[in-house]
Amino acid sequence: MTTLSINEDLLEQINAEARSEARSVTEIISDAIHSYIQKKQKIEIAMSGSSFMDFYGIFKDNPIPDKLELRREFYEKNSR
């Protein structure tokens, strides 16, 4: 068995949730950790796709311009 330290305020919230859902604190925490791991794995799978990484790489050397900068360039090009 493993010991887990949880902030008192958070533990009070978890206890209230457990009572309202008629579930154990262990069940709620286990479900939350399982859900976190699943979401993290889905993100890792999505980010490992070559199309995502290719798209992400577009902005590596040239970050997305500021909105005001984009507006200024738009108005300069259209006012000529």
Task: Supply the pLDDT for residue 15.
Answer: 95
DSSP string spanning 16-45? HHHHHHT--HHHHHHHHHHHHHHHHHHHHH
One digit per residue, the tens of pLDDT, for the chain of length 80 reads 788 899 999 999 999 999 999 999 999 999 999 999 999 988 777 777 666 656 666 666 777 777 888 888 888 888 76
- Residues 50 and 18: their CA atoms lie apart, in Å, by 42
Domain ranges of the chain: 8-78
Q: Taking the model in full, what pTM does it have?
A: 0.53
Let me know: does 57 contact 64? Beta carbons within 8 Å. no
Phi, psi (degrees; rounded to nearest 5) at 50? -65, -35
